[in-house]
Amino acid sequence: MSSEERWSAFMDGASYYIALEKPCLRCGDFRKRTRDRSCYRCHLLRGAENFERMKAGLAPKVMRNKDSHLDLLDRQRRERDGDCITREFGTITVTRWPTGRLEVVFPDGYHERDLANRKPEEVYRAMELLPELRDALIWAGWY
């Protein structure tokens, strides 16, 4: 084990630890997987679509095969056709799209087309200012 934080997380049986000295180059998150020191957030996002399929009782799609490609094309077609789930949480409106995109309309009228394009720090700050955003992220399976 290369760091005290990782060793402590390993001994506690935790799946991740905080590594403030090495943020992820892709998303900027500080959480690292105890198992292999990879970015915890990126790991979760890679498998997010499979979690949704498993919750629905469907087998997860394997990435980079014909079924996965056809599944992606189907989800993109459904998104073009407007197949989405919209829900209001207090003063914000959240729309979950089949491709995993989360669209948010804030109380001041600001429209975020894809919340995943925001840095984690910005999303956490928005959750502090708007507690209903946390409820929306829990509903969408993001938190």
Distance CA 100, CA 78 (A): 12
pTM given for the model: 0.53
pLDDT tens digits in sequence order for the chain, 143 residues long? 468 888 888 888 888 888 888 888 888 888 998 888 888 888 878 777 777 776 666 666 665 678 878 888 999 999 999 999 999 999 999 999 998 899 999 999 999 999 989 998 999 999 999 999 999 999 988 87
Distance CA 39, CA 29 (A): 7
Q: DSSP letter at 49?
A: H
Per the structure block, which two tokens stand in for 39?
Answer: 């970015």
